[in-house]
Structure 1
């Protein structure tokens, strides 16, 4: 019974004590019951209480999932070593050229060619009458040939150092006869670098000598006077 019902019963007792009739008591009681019923109908429904969550169910020891086994990484594929070329290679010619031109000058005469071996270099000296010609000194990998006939010339050594003299000649005319001014035109040398010296051209104011060397080493060119001389030093 709610609080209103108890109050209604108390009111009936009080009326009875005051000497009210049964009809009045009955009417008062009915009004209280109706009022109580109306209040209960208008009251909001009670909020349901949340039931507590069930405790977690423990898994048996034999059903606990185990961590996955580590997957081994694949072993690296060995890379075969690169084969090295150990075959001997021919020496590359030095990228050096010594040149001086003398245009408009008459041909000079080559009188002598001398060679000498020094402590640090091998020396070739070209001596002239009538002045100093132009020159071009450089290494070459082309086949050595005579300038007039084109005949191949064999030269000792691994390198070819060409010495071109222009305008110049290695011969002179005596009357109607032509006579060479340098008799030894092909020399074998046992020097540290220079192994051969050969004349390959004496034609149309152009003279060319080829030095066969053991390797295309650095060289230098000097011009000397009284008498006019062109010096080629090939360093060891």
Structure 2
């Protein structure tokens, strides 16, 4: 059966909890976002920088980490989570990828204070919403990421959504991410991988994000 946010003990982490994380980053790299100023790199690691047609530099940041992230499951079963209500439109405004000690991280940041729900599962092919045409994302297997409770673009024309297209990655396990589109309140993306491996999904707030982490060998 699909894993759920409730059964895995997931909860959105308030901004105040993230501030405390600055002194306990573990093996993670400190990286820059396309929407923030560069951060100093850890003395023991090298920041990962990835770029692609979906946007400018797409790196995750130290604030994307969660102190209560669930352990990686022993399986690769689908993962689902419920949307959390909030203020303002929920538009995907940033996509970040980063390499960390033991896992690769993909972050979907949204506008407003609501947090999307999610349905994340492995699939053998990456196809566009509606047409079913193949989309260009590297990898031999893919995590299909569906974010629910997202605002349709025409309902929030003043909030810039990230562009449709692919973002390459040199993190190792995650080979690339393709952000497709929003249809009827659902945003679709694919994470390209070389093989199926355990993954976990959780939500963060301040700003609102859905985090997908894939375990590395």
TM-score relative to the length of structure 2: 0.57
User: Larger relative CO (CA 8 A, sep 6+): 1 or 2?
Assistant: 2
Aligned equivalents of 1:190, 1:115: Cα separation in 2: 9
Partner of 2:62: none
How many correspondences in the alignment? 138
Name the residue aligned to 1:84.
none
Pairwise CA RMSD:
2.4
Superposed displacement of residue 201, structure 1: 3.1
1:173 and 2:157 are equivalent in the alignment: yes
Check the 8 A contact 1:163/1:210 in 2, yes or no: yes
Q: Which residue of 2 aligns with 1:42?
A: none
Matches within 5 A, 1:40-59: none
Judged with a 3 Å threshold, the aligned counterparts in structure 2 of structure 1 residues 151 and 107 are, in CA distance, closer, same or farther, namely farther
Distance 1:204 1:107, change over 3 A: farther
Alignment gaps of 5+ in structure 2: 1-74
Structure 1: 5+ residue stretches without partners: 1-93
Counterpart CA distance in 1 for 2:128 and 2:180 is 5
Structure-2 separation of matches of 1:104 and 1:122: 28
Report the counterpart of residue 153 of structure 1 in structure 2: 135
State how far apart, in whole Å, the 2-side matches of 1:192 and 1:146 are: 25
| Equivalent pair of 1:107/1:166 in contact (CA under 8 Å) | no
Q: CA deviation at 1:183?
A: 3.1
Contact 1:107 1:133 in 2 (8 A): no
Bigger Rg, which one: 1
Asked if 1 retains the 8 angstrom alpha-carbon contact of 2:111 and 2:207, the reply is yes
Superposed displacement of residue 188, structure 1: 1.4
Secondary structure at 1:168's aligned position in 2?
A: coil
- Which residue of 113, 133, 157 maps to 2:116? 133
Q: Name the structure where helix makes up a greater proportion of residues.
A: 1
Aligned counterparts of 1:156 and 1:169: Cα–Cα separation in 2 = 28
The aligned counterpart of 1:192 is 172
Aligned pairs for 1:13-24 (under 5 A) are none
Taking structure 1 as the reference length, the TM-score comes to 0.52
Aligned residue in 2 for 1:40:
none
Q: CA deviation at 1:107?
A: 6.2
Q: State the shift of 1:122 in Å.
A: 0.7
Q: CA 1:161 to 1:129, structure 2 compared with 1: closer, same or farther past 3 Å?
A: same
**Alignment correspondent of 1:3:** none
Distance 2:107 2:84 in 1: 22
SS of residue paired to 1:173: coil
| 2: CA distance, partners of 1:188 / 1:102 | 28
Distance 1:111 1:145 in 2: 22
